[in-house]
Amino acid sequence: MSDAATRSAPKWETDAKDNLKAAIRKFQKPIADLVQRDVNEGDTRIFVNDFLRSALDYDQYADLTTEFAVRGEFADYGVRIEQQLVAFIEVKRAAQALNVRHLRQVETYAVKEGLEWVILTNGQVWQAYHVAAKTGQQVVTTLVFEVDLLSDEPPAKKVGKLFHLHRSALKRQTIAELWKQRAATSPSALSKILQSDAVLTAIRSEIWRASRYKPETGELRDALRSQVIRPELLLP
């Protein structure tokens, strides 16, 4: 086993995950009750505020700003780390399913403020998104992870994902590293790699070894584009 695999996690990470594990157990019954009662958005925000403080370790006075003003509109929460605005949180009522319209709302706030991270939640489900908005290009918003506090997913997996929203982790930008890993192996990234000259050359060699037939690079690329890669992932 490698040294990297056996190296223990730093204390701040262990403490954060231990706290999250206990908090998830603590908050499951309250959020289940709120969902069953179909409480309004205001009551859901009370729960979210408690979860942000108790589970994710945010100081409600130093780190969180409610009704954060964004050019005439208001995000439910602005999240600051050491006075630096890093994310917006949009809250919907507990029993309401999160949807694309809700995402577009908070995505707009992030673009206006130049933020990369947005969180969409109804208390039960927590979704973290990366927002990329380069000048002159279409905004690309991608789900990094989703956690349902009431799902049957193993607690360790819930903790492993929610950890990236913990104040200690967000301060160290672990979510950025997670995003890089996910982006590197996303369908669109793999599609580009499959169509690269280096990979096509290797595939041609393997086809030759297996069948004594070596297709032209263009022929092979056309086969991949028409038979293997989904149309929406094709290179322009």
What is the pTM assigned to this prediction? 0.84
Tokens of 20: 């999250």
| Cβ–Cβ < 8 Å for 67, 49 | no
Q: pLDDT averaged over consecutive 10-residue blocks of the chain (236 residues)?
A: 60 96 97 98 97 97 95 94 96 96 93 95 98 83 96 97 98 94 82 88 91 89 85 63
Domain residue limits, the chain = 8-184, 187-233
Q: Which residue has tokens 């995950």?
A: 17
- Rounded to whole angstroms, the Cα distance separating 1 from 222 reads 42
- d(CA 231, CA 75) in angstroms, rounded, equals 36
Assess if CATH 3.90.1570 describes domain 8-184. Answer: yes
pLDDT at 7: 64
Q: What is the pLDDT of residue 234?
A: 66
| 147, 160, 181 from 175: Cα distances, Å | 14, 11, 10
